[in-house]
Amino acid sequence: MTPTLLPSRFPLPGARPQTLLRLLAAALLPLALAACNGGADDDERDDPPAAVAPPRNTAYLETRPGDVIRVRIEELRPTQAAIGYDQIYYKLGRWQGDFDRPTWAADPALQLDYLNRTVGKKFDDYCEDMGGTERAQPFQTIAEARAARLDQPGTFTCKDAPGTHAANLKTVAVGWDGNLYLTDGHHTFSSLREIFDGGPTLPVWVKVDANYSDLPSAAAFWQRMVDERRTWLRDGQNQPITVDQLPARLGRANGQEAGGMQEDRYRSLVYFTRDIAYSNGNLPEFAEFLWGDWLRRQAAGGQLPSLDLYLTAAPASTAQILAPATLDKDLLPQGANDSYAAAVRDASLKMAALADADIVYGDRDAAGLGRIALEPNAAGGSPTKKARDTLEELPRHDVKADDTPRGAGKLWFAVNYRNCGKPAAGTCWGW
């Protein structure tokens, strides 16, 4: 042993040799005991601290199924990893009408009509989704439309009070930790979270569908959610995930804020087939994901072109993406074959060709997932004629032939918002 190995607390050179030896022995004894697994019995060593369970959210522990509660969007936990971004873009594109749009600047009545169809739709949707049906009345002036904000309830009025029509409300389950887990409404609340006058703290009303706060653990809770089909554990590419991989918040993932939900392009596709290939009423949870899984399997098996073969986003131009694709009275494809509308048309034909008893996913059959039977030469007013009209309207712009406003198609809003941002003059919206 050389002096250079001694800890600095030992005396400086010059101390007596006996003293140095005693100090050296005292210093090395703990090291020797440690090498022999200590100088005390195992039972006497300190145990690691026990894991501390996170505190429970006590605000909703006493709620019961059927209760209507007012919450903030940020309190809602996702039970799915992905959303259809184009469905969100449709909402954000439609809800933000351009107040300074020059198209009808010389005619305040037409400008107000346009704003009621766009900005007014935001408030109609909010009132309906909060259980209050639509607005009490359309905007009477452009100034009234400008002043209305979701985060200022005094600036607009729903026909009925929020929560009045509970059947319209989105649903939650109370978790083992007391938090609220959203089982329906991920797209609705993601859209409201991202609109400029919404956000994480916007108040919303939801209906309690189940209360599992009596379950002893997270594992028991999630097993119950899986068993009762209240969660969709697949990512944006339809690959299986664990509950630990679910996002922490609603809304799209972005570079400015942690968390967020992935994009599922087939979930967007299924949204646009609504009222063409399937009806949305009284469907089981996550029905659109079940259809999306089925469409993916059809594409993988060569029964349907992959979505990647269609022009659905940049670098394709807006005109290419929105090229009309329709069905004639014999249900024969017309128009474009590679546009977004063509993808919707081709997927819809495939979905509608199923028999009611055909299985779409697991034990869910086509009838149970709202499939619409399309029939050649169907009469006016029939489900088939309505479906054909819906398909034709998807890429339609918002100006009639006589230069008055009209309701534009969902695909037109979604594609323009994705490519151009919110509606504004001088952007690629076209005015």
Each residue of 295-350: pLDDT tens digit?
A: 999 999 999 999 999 999 999 999 999 999 999 999 999 999 999 999 999 999 99
Distance CA 348, CA 45 (A): 68
The crossing angle, in degrees rounded to 10, of helices 186-194 and 85-95 is: 50
Contacts of 38 (CB under 8 A, 6+ apart): 45
Beta strand 180-182 pairing with 170-174: antiparallel
- Round to whole Å and give the CA distance between 170 and 206: 5
Segment 253-307, tens digit of pLDDT:
999 999 999 999 999 999 999 999 999 988 999 999 999 999 999 999 999 999 9
Residue type, 376: P
Residue 224 clears pLDDT 90, i.e. is over it: yes
Q: Which residues are within 8 A (CB) of 382 and not within 5 positions of it... i.e. 6 or more apart? A: 375
Cα(34)–Cα(14) distance, rounded to whole angstroms?
31
- Percentage of the residues of the chain whose pLDDT score is greater than 90: 86
- For residues 5 and 150, give the distance between their C-alpha atoms in angstroms, rounded to a whole number: 72
Long-range contacts from 300-306, C-beta under 8 angstroms, 24+ separation: 303/350, 304/346, 304/347, 304/350, 305/343, 305/346
Interior/surface letters 356-375, b for 16+ CB within 10 angstroms, e for the rest: eeeebbeebbbebbbbbbbe
AA identity, residue 39: G
- What is the layout of strands, in order, in the sheet containing 170-174? 68-72, 203-211, 170-174, 180-182, 76-77
Which pLDDT score, from 0 to 100, does residue 16 have?
41
Decide: 175 and 144 in contact? Cβ < 8 Å: no
The structure tokens 């501390």 sit at 52
Q: What is the rounded average pLDDT of the residues 201-225? A: 98
pTM confidence score: 0.87
Residue indicated by tokens 């594992």: 219
> Using only C-alpha atoms, what is the Rg of the chain?
30
Q: Above 60 in pLDDT, residue 11? A: no
Q: Where are the alpha helices (DSSP H) in 318-393?
A: 318-321, 340-352, 383-393
Q: For position 398, what pLDDT does the model report?
A: 98
The whole-number average pLDDT for the span 177-194 is 98
Q: What is the mean pLDDT of the chain?
A: 90
What ranges do the domains of the chain cover?
Answer: 53-263, 265-395
| pLDDT tens sequence across 381-392 | 999 999 999 999
Kindly give the residue spans of alpha helices, DSSP state H, lying in 228-305. Answer: 265-272, 287-300
Rounded to an integer, the average pLDDT of 164-189 is: 97
Q: Which CATH architecture has domain 53-263?
A: Alpha-Beta Complex (3.90)
Residue type, 138: P
Nearest in space to 96 (alpha carbons), one of 392, 391, 423, 361: 423
At residue 55, the pLDDT reads 84
